[in-house]
Structure 1
Amino acid sequence: MHAKTTTTTLTPLALKDAPALIETVFPAQKVSFEAQSERKAGAGQTLTGLGSYWKGRKPLILVRAIVLGSLLPATGDAEADLAIFEKLMAFDDEGLARRALAANAFSASKLQALIPIADPERYFRGRGWRRDLTDDDKLVLYRQALTTLSSYEEKASLGKRPEEVDQDWLYAPVWPEVNRHYAHLGVNAQSLPELVEQLGILRYGHRPRVGDTFCGGGSIPFEAARIGCDAYASDLNPIACMLTWGAFHIVGGSKEEREQLKRDQQALVKKVLAEIDRLGIETDGQGWRAKVFLYCVEVRCPQTGWMVPLLPTLVVSKGYKVTAELVPDPGRKRYDIAIRSDVSDAELKAAELGTVRSDGRGQDPYMVHTVDGREYRTKISTLRGDYKKPDGTTGNQLRLWEKHDFKPRPEDIFQERLYCIQWMRPRDSGKSYDYEFRAVTEEDLERERIVEEYVAKHLAEWQEQGWVPDMRIEPGDKTDEPIRTRGWTHWHHLFNPRQLLLGALMRKQASAFHAFSIFATLDLNSRLSRWNGSGSKGAGGNTSNTFDNQALNTLFNYGHRGVANLQGYLRPNFPIDSLSNAIEKSINCRAADELSSVHPLIPLFITDPPYADAVKYEEITEFFIAWLRKNPPPEFAHWVWDSRRALAIKGEDEDFRRGMVAAYTAMAEHMPDNGMQCVMFTHQDTSVWGDLIGIFWAAGLQVVAAWYIATETTSELKKGGYVQGTVILMLKKRAAGERTGFKQRLLPAVRQEVARQIETMMHLNDTVKTQHGEPVWSDADLQMAGYAAALKVLTAYTHIGGEDVTRYALRPRVRGEVTVVDEIVQQAAETASSLLVPEELSAETWAKLTGIERFVLRMLDMKTTGSTKLDNYQNFAKAFRVTDYSRVMGDMRPNHARLKRISEFASRDLTEATEIGATRLGRLIIALQQRLKDAEPQVIVDQLRGEMADFLEVRPLLVDMLAFIERNSPEPEVRTAAEVLGARLKNLRFGE
């Protein structure tokens, strides 16, 4: 997609004051699914190859949706506007069919089995397609095939992501409809960039400019530029700026830039290989090259005096069935390490236990080894010599390494040894490799000595030239770990001699393009690069990224990849998605509030600020900053190569709020009066709302819309699933002038606005569902819109109860305090919840239910529609003020969430002391369980009557709940039991 100079007749600023589409409609459910699909693509994501260590990139499809939604006008016909928007996102049926065809989702035989085809010979020859068939011919059948699927997720799962499909072909049928829909504005576009430019002229008088002052991995400015916006990007962190530069100039680079990248990569590989081969340190002289060198920490046992290798497992490779065997050498009081291949399954299982073991409680691990039949155990903390200081802090006996150190000294507690090498050799065919794991030989140790001597000779020079770090590791939340657990004090201590040599050879090359290859290599080749030998046979295993979990975790064993195993990183194949030369792109390494010198004004800011972010990028990226700090490539030389931790906006305290208010005030002042801001943040708890709303309020911004995008992931490294949901908050400048409000008047206005917003959206939901079978919004989306409606009312004021909103936003928080924002948000939640009555349950019954009862019945209703997303349960638990929703959950995995079945509730779950047990629904669950055990219906009813003082009054409520359970329970026997008890209660005569 390339931006072109528009030739259509437009009236500049015709949409100057028109509301944007995203203020009224936004297909949040579909955007959520597409965003998750992009996340699941892993390394297939467009920008990930630039630096997978930056995990916080927002999905490009989400950015595209926000930009288009902010530029398109709301015409007054919400249904038609939504239809056009979905076509532009390729979410419509035609777009889905084209995406499915691009993925070859249906084979010829599958199509013939799936749909009736009157003239199959027109399409097929034998079992395949006719060769003379065009894509348009195939689309006829693809369209029919997709009508057999019921949900959007089923249809979209079959196809490629929109960005993976040829854009001209994907959008070919869209432009006549778009131009017709906006004909009254003079729109005449044939591509997304053309449409974006025309909308910018109509709204702002020029091509739209998107700004991101927390640009991070660059996804927001890159996607904005890709669809035709000028892009302004800035970040305090130079690594973020570098990644954004890579998005613009590598992934989005011109033909000339790509050719230069190729030349630079070839030169880098040639020079590095030449020097490695000259030293002879990665070959055995028999045609084998080293694929991975495996190292481990070694420590002296204080009980026996033996040197013991610290290995969490003795399994080297599961696929090749390779283990390490500790062979005692009593004379030297140490262990030789033999490498055994093709061991039995039993031997492989036994080898899973290494010399480092957990205490089983997640606490301090210990070292274990056996001498003369006796087992010795010592805590790792004891080996380090951990102790408490008088001031309560901790210390240990580790020597702090000095600037010239690059390996342990003989007197250090923790030593290091090479214990295995995996070798590779090309097969005669040249198409694949043979692999071998071998024990370390004297020749291998001699090669290690060559490396160590070379590094010792050149380290000072390399550090002076800026080719190897000489930067200290400053203490911090994440950076304390290597200092405390290893005594490492400088960043180059995180790299062993081989890694320093390889890093220096690469850093001698000064091109900006080289920096991406270098950083990818460093991420895989450090003392923090975990060896993963658990895969299938294939290549036998490899090192994992240093930042596989965004921390600086020191390891007892690690791997170093040889140059032959790094070809794909030294010469990476980045995606190509060239950006138009007409698009203006700028990157600045500066704080978010430093916008005074930026010209012209920026009408659309899209930001993902670092609120309460567990990833301390300002600390962990010093791992990379240290390598470029003294001698960056010329393209990056004007940036400040320091993380500037003290200036980074982080945390949740008063300094954080002041920094955020300054940043967003600067953005508000640097956009035109009809400009808009989109702020994305991870939805974690209700305190997020209180602080962030206060910040934007104080910055002179008013909320105009809010949408919720579900992005759920699971990871073994995170010890379970972390649920994430991104809130999309849309803001505009607050109208000039003072406006004072009072809480007692605000609350009725909030209730009225929330009700109006939700009823409007529910009406559109019903209309679309009737026509297309699926609603536009889930209940979670409607709740979010309710919050936005409430905040729109609140943030229109400059004073609440006489207090200036800026003072309100910046004043220190009192623990347990309920602020006016908290009250407004809760009021919105309650108003929204009262309107979101499940189908088949009367409004009268809904009004009488407690929060936990509403939660269970609401989620039971959602379960029948296939909702298994944990964030839905979390959001509704907050909305209904449920204290502990986990007590009623049967599964809390992020994408497999569900309520407990009636039969799964234990007696302890249903006592008067529990939230659900103290309710009428809780009593009904007990009654249903009794019926499942064949208790007589009349006996159960008599018990209910005896236990409930208000039985006659609540009997209709019980009947209504049982009828609802009968229709919605996933357990057939429970549905039967509910039917029986409901009928008995309904027909109960008062004389019985």
Structure 2
Amino acid sequence: MATLTPLALKDAPALIESVFPAQKVSFEAQKERKAGAGQTLTALGSYWKGRKPLILVRAIVLGSLLPPTGDGEADLAIFEKLMAFDDEGLARRALAANAYSAAKLQELIPISDPERYFSGRGWRRDITDDEKLVLYRRALATLPSYEEKASLCKRPEEMDQGWLYAPVWPVVNQHYGDLGLNACSFADLVEQLGILRYGKRPRVGDTFSGGGSIPFEAARIGCDTYASDLNPIACMLTWGALNIVGASQEHRAEIESAQRAVADAVDREISGFGIEHDANGNRAKAYLYCLETRCPETGWLVPMAPSWVISKAHNVIARLKPDSANKRFNIEILADASNAELKAAENGTVQGGDLVYELAGKLYRTPIKTLRGDYRLPDGGTGNRLRRWDVSDFKPRPDDVFQERLYAIMWISNESLGKSRPDVFLAAPSEADFIREKQVDAIVSENLTEWQANGLIPDMAIEPGDKTDEPIRTRGWTHWHHLFSPRQLLMLALLRNEVRKLEGRLQSEVSVFLPDAIQRSAKLCIWDSFPGPGRMPKIAQVFSDQSLSTPMNWGVRAWNYLAPVFIGISDIHDRPPVTRSGFVQSSEASAISEECELFISDPPYADAVIYHEITEFFIAWLRKNPPQPFDEWVWDSRRALAIKGSGEDFRRGMVAAYKTMAEHMPDNGTQCVMFTHQDTSVWGDLVGVFWAAGLQVVAAWYIATETTSGKVGAFVQGTVILMLKKRTAGERTGFKQRLLPAVRQEVASQIETMMHLNDTVKAHHGEPVFNDSDLQMAGYAAALKVLTAYTHIGGEDVTSFALRPRARGEVTVVDEIVQQAAETASSLLVPEGLAADTWAKLTGIERFVLRMLDMETTGAAKLDNYQNFAKAFRVEDYTRVMGDMRPNHARLKRVSEYASRDLTDTTEIGATRLGRLIIAVQQLLKDTEPQVIVDQMRGEMVDFLEVRSLLTDMLAFIERKSREPEARHAAEVLGARLKNLRFGE
């Protein structure tokens, strides 16, 4: 082990520059994602979609502070202990999860003295956790992979931190003995390493803080933090993460008590109005509304819904009954509908963009565009003849195209009110219910102007935009309060008023929970008729996706259904609190003035969520009279200042942001940029940004952060972690002809080092540290490390290069070099069992298929792997060789699944030697004689004899790797015939 002195640590590289347990971080990040509502920060609201996993943030912070000692394997072992990824950490995490019962352990492993641990088939009462751990270690050792072990465990943040890490600190202190560490907690470790590196406890900054995961986790493990965001909703979430989720258990309980007091006060007011109870004492839980419009052909008022199924699990439907006298339809609620009636109800009166209904045996169909009166504008845009609502409107006027109609109510029976599992039933509204609706309208009408003046409900206009045009175009809504029904406006006004009555800091803390309540109580909330077998319908949130879509029918929560959303931190009482201070500021990234030793950011890019538009939904509610410290922020989305995800403005904004961050960190400071996109042009833009900001890439890692999604194609499941430091070498000029060899050499050196560590760790522990995606990313990093060390490329200043406009389809020198690095890296990743000289002769699509065939034998099924390698091998359309494109179930086509049209000379794979081999194997599977196939191949391939060894090598590879036994056998037979073919035969 190399000696690492306290004096030398100031200029020592960070461990993350050379070692990072990317595969294990990937699994743990996905485990955290799959926890859903169990994720720590979603307690503040799941409407912010871009939070990075906390376990990933922890790994980055620790990896940036820990130094390498010269012993990569030992350094990695320490890193994994600190992340609780090691065998001991896993055993403790599994025990905390009660992963094994006493009976299961006795079945799983031989125990020579079971009476020491068990009484019958259960644990002895006097058994200790330390004694249980003895058996848990042995049980986990029977599992072959990290994923199988970790899947049984609690996440590290769910654990008692003192007990989980008790055995770790002595080992850490000993490993870094030359530094004089004496850590007993993360706070100790972080502060001691920070003082040695920077002379002070380190401060982590995030200038695109979003949902707050980066500053929150950094503060929780002992860093001081600075967070800023242009968006005040992001600032509120970040502040809430630090000060509410990160509060002590005692203070969290105080906040929850205040929330309950507010909820009880609103409940008393609503109950006093008598607007949620019927004459029998039943209380409404939810209301179901739909649009209603007049058919231009018949003059009838027709209710609008894509489906009339109300509860699929309980066979409850709505059925339209013609009312000829009033030229409209009554809506009756039918419980216990037959399967045929349920099936028929699935087809509503809105189908494929049309209003569709039957009357007197005749079917009528009118495009909704016609109902709205859509037309084209001279500038190419669209308009319509819907009346634009006024600021004083809160419901449709009688002559509006679209009316709003209550057609079902979910009730809680009087006898079961207050029970944990109350009796719930659905019914059509009665005349008394419509009277209560009018009572709600009267209350809102009487108070609307005063509520708006006091900021209890919005009076803010909707500014047109990519996302905000939707409610204007489809409904004629012009102000944000139009997105809410009268009942919702009343509840939210009462809620806001009660929150304002709280004193001091509690008002700010409780206010953080308002946005989540607001976005679960709008006319954009879809009624989910089938949330699961046996379950009653539920009402979705507005931001189930990142849009402002306006449904034809929607659900409205009554207060007893909305109140639990507002009381949202009880499920995180067991999380460890934040140990350090954090400062949150509403500011654009290029205007910060705070110094930080480590900046970690997840910037906007390409197709990122357009938060600067959709969060105006919340800003409209919260902008008037916010409590401290929210009153120090700008309560406006400031669209003009927001960094949009591509183009020249994007590059300029990003350069300004990252240049400012570089100026506000010490010379030995570090930046980490999280990046989630596969578009090579965006990669090129980012490289230019860092270049112009005076930053040099020192490492890159690939983390699979996302979980299964229905999306395919360009959907990316991973996050690239780029590590950067200040460029300190002064003026340097490089030319492409010299850069390319330097890049190839650096890529080869980097991958060789990583593969050596892989081999060493695999020999001791059975699993490699890095997978192919990690090694591929290392190729990118090596290229960027070389490239970003220069200030001029081919005589052009890098700042000018980064900011100049791009021509459509332009391939820059950066694009060329990055692609060259990817190809160099990929050329070194020869699949196991394939000769290196064979690999060197293959085309891109051949390499892709064989590489992924090899990966599939290890159980890899992530779509992002296929995306990344397709890009590296320059495959034109990898989807043509894919058998499954689901993100977590991706796979290649099996040999038998290729159609003849897939293997013609005009297709990418069909024009290759591998394509011809696939045809040959298929012929053999259809009982064509082997010699006939060989003769055909010889006649078709002019270089047959020269490539025969290449063909046999690929067939041998298919024989070993194919998932189809018949294809393996056919490849073996054909390979043997080719191998034994005599010259001149």
- Among 401, 407, 415, which residue is 2:395 paired with? 407
Partner of 2:849 in structure 1? 856
Out of 364, 379, 383, the position equivalent to 2:367 is: 379
State which of 448, 453, 466 in structure 2 corresponds to 1:464.
453
How far is 1:190 from its partner? 1.1
The equivalent of 1:168 in structure 2 is 162
Matched, 1:422 2:422: no
Q: Are 2:242 and 2:578, in contact at CA under 8 Å, matched by a contact in 1?
A: no
Q: Report what 2:522 is aligned to.
A: 526
Residue in 1 aligned with 2:544?
548
Separation (CA, whole Å) in 2 of partners of 1:989 and 1:538: 69
The one-letter code sitting in structure 2 at the alignment partner of 1:127 is R
SS in 1 for 2:106: helix
What residue number does 1:299 align with? 293
Aligned match of 2:462: 473
1:897-912 counterparts in 2 under 5 A? 897-912=890-905
User: How far is 1:635 from its partner?
Assistant: 2.9
Counterpart of 1:433? 422
Query: 2:886 is paired with a residue of what secondary structure?
Result: coil
Q: Deviations over 1:391-450 (max 9, x none)?
A: 322111100001000000011000001111000136569442111111111100010011
Aligned to 1:506: 495
Q: Secondary structure at the match of 2:591?
A: coil
2-structure distance, mates of 1:709, 1:11: 32
* TM-score normalised according to structure 1 size: 0.96
Partners of 1:696 and 1:536 lie apart in 2 by 48
Corresponding residue of 2:885: 892
- Whole-angstrom distance in 1 between the partners of 2:714 and 2:115: 50
Once the two structures are TM-superposed, the CA of residue 582 in structure 1 deviates from its matched residue by 6.3
Q: Using the alignment, how far apart are the partners of 1:296 and 1:447 within structure 2?
A: 18
Q: 2:436 aligned to 435, 447, 452, which one?
A: 447
Q: Does 1:346 align with 2:335?
A: no
Mean Cα deviation higher: 192-201 or 464-473: 192-201
By how many angstroms is 1:566 displaced? 2.2
Structure 1 pair 853–313 and aligned structure 2 pair: CA distance change class (3 A) = same
* Farther-moved stretch of structure 1 (585-594 vs 530-539): 530-539
Residue number among 950, 961, 977 corresponding to 1:984 in the alignment: 977
* Residue aligning to 1:953: 946
Amino acid at match of 2:490: L
Q: Tell me the distance in 2 between the aligned counterparts of 1:211 and 1:768.
A: 34
Cα displacement string for residues 942-971 of structure 1 (whole angstroms, at most 9, x for unaligned residues): 111111111111011111111111111111
1:172 partner letter = A
| Alpha-carbon distance change, 376 to 581 in structure 1, aligned in 2, over 3 angstroms | closer
Partner of 2:472: 483
Query: 3-state DSSP class of the match of 1:64?
Result: helix
CA drift at 1:584: 2.4
Aligned pairs for 1:921-960 (under 5 A) are 921-960=914-953
Aligned counterpart, 2:752: 759
> Residues of 2 paired with 1:834 and 1:453: CA distance?
73
- Structure 2 SS opposite 1:240: helix
Q: Give the SS at the match of 1:506.
A: helix
- Selected match of 1:108 from 84, 102, 106: 102
* 2:503 matched residue in structure 1: none
Give, in whole Å, the separation in 1 of the partners of 2:725 and 2:709: 37
Equivalent residues in 2 for 1:252-291, closer than 5 Å: 252-254=246-248, 257-291=251-285
The yes-or-no answer on 1:874 pairing with 2:870 is no
User: Does the residue aligned with 2:197 lie in a helix, a strand or coil?
Assistant: helix
Q: Give the unaligned 5+ runs of structure 1.
A: 1-9, 359-364
4+ runs deviating over 4 angstroms:
10-14, 426-429, 536-539, 577-582, 718-721
Which residue of the partner structure matches residue 336 of structure 1? Answer: 330
Question: More displaced, 505-514 or 249-258?
Answer: 249-258
Q: Residue 697 of structure 1 is aligned with which of 691, 696, 711? A: 691
User: Is this contact kept in 2: 1:739–1:798, CA < 8 A?
Assistant: yes
The equivalent position to 2:150 in structure 1, one of 149, 153, 156, is: 156
Query: Which of 357, 370, 373 does residue 369 from structure 1 map onto?
Result: 357
- The AA in structure 1 aligned to 2:800 is R
Residue 599 of structure 2 aligns with an amino acid whose one-letter code is F
The alignment status of 1:132 with 2:126, answered yes or no, reads: yes
Query: What CA distance in whole angstroms lies between the structure 2 residues aligned with 1:13 and 1:608?
Result: 33
Shift of 1:223: 0.1
Alpha-carbon contact 2:191-2:222 (below 8 Å) kept: yes
Following superposition, the deviation at residue 723 of structure 1 comes to 3.2
Residue 656 of structure 1 corresponds to 650
Deviation at 1:573, TM superposition (A): 2.8
Distance 1:712 1:587, change over 3 A: closer
**Partner in structure 1 of residue 376 of structure 2:** 388
Q: Does the CA-based 8 Å contact 1:701-1:733 persist in structure 2?
A: yes
The one of 500, 510, 515 equivalent to 2:511 is: 515
> What secondary structure does 1:433 align onto?
coil
Does residue 613 of structure 1 match 2:607? yes
Percent sequence identity over matched residues?
72
Which whole-Å CA distance do the structure 2 matches of 1:384 and 1:773 have between them? 65
- Corresponding residue SS for 1:406: coil
Secondary structure of 2:542's counterpart equals: coil
**Distance of aligned partners of 1:210 and 1:273 in 2 relative to their CA distance in 1, 3 Å threshold:** same
Question: RMSD across aligned C-alpha pairs, in angstroms?
Answer: 1.6
Q: How does 1:768-787 map onto structure 2 within 5 Å?
A: 768-787=761-780
| 1:571 aligned residue | 567
Contact 1:721 1:893 in 2 (8 A): no
Q: Comparing 560-569 with 768-777, which one deviates more in the overlay?
A: 560-569
CA distance in 2: counterparts of 1:229 and 1:769, whole angstroms? 34
1:800 is aligned to 793
| Distance in 2 (alpha carbons) for counterparts of 1:937 and 1:832 | 38
Give, in whole Å, the separation in 2 of the partners of 1:258 and 1:453. 38
Matched residues in 2 for 1:259 and 1:481: separation? Answer: 41
CA distance in 2, matches of 1:791, 1:426: 68
Once the two structures are TM-superposed, the CA of residue 11 in structure 1 deviates from its matched residue by: 8.1
Please name the residue that 1:86 is paired with. Answer: 80
Cα displacement string for residues 162-186 of structure 1 (whole angstroms, at most 9, x for unaligned residues): 1111111111111111111001100
- Does residue 1:584 correspond to 2:565, yes or no? no
Q: Give the aligned partner of residue 362 of structure 1.
A: none
Q: Separation in 2 of the partners of 1:230 and 1:879? A: 40
Secondary structure at 1:565 match in 2: helix
* Matched AA of 2:543: F
Q: Closer, same or farther in 2 for the Cα pair 1:503/1:430, shift >3 Å? A: closer
3-state SS in 2 of match to 1:489: coil
**SS at structure 2 position matched to 1:400:** coil
Deviation for aligned residue 1:535: 2.9
TM-aligned CA deviation for residue 256 of structure 1: 6.1
The answer on whether the counterparts of 1:467 and 1:631 sit within 8 Å (CA) in structure 2 is no
Which range moved further: 568-577 or 741-750? Answer: 568-577
**Is contact 1:714-1:721 (8 Å) kept?**
no
Q: How does 1:64-75 map to 2 (within 5 A)?
A: 64-75=58-69
Question: What displacement does 1:568 show?
Answer: 1.4
1:44–1:981 CA distance, 2 compared to 1 (3 A): same
Displacement after TM superposition at 1:192 (Å): 1.3
Rounded Cα–Cα distance in structure 2 between residues aligned with 1:723 and 1:521? 31
What is the match of residue 964 of structure 1? 957
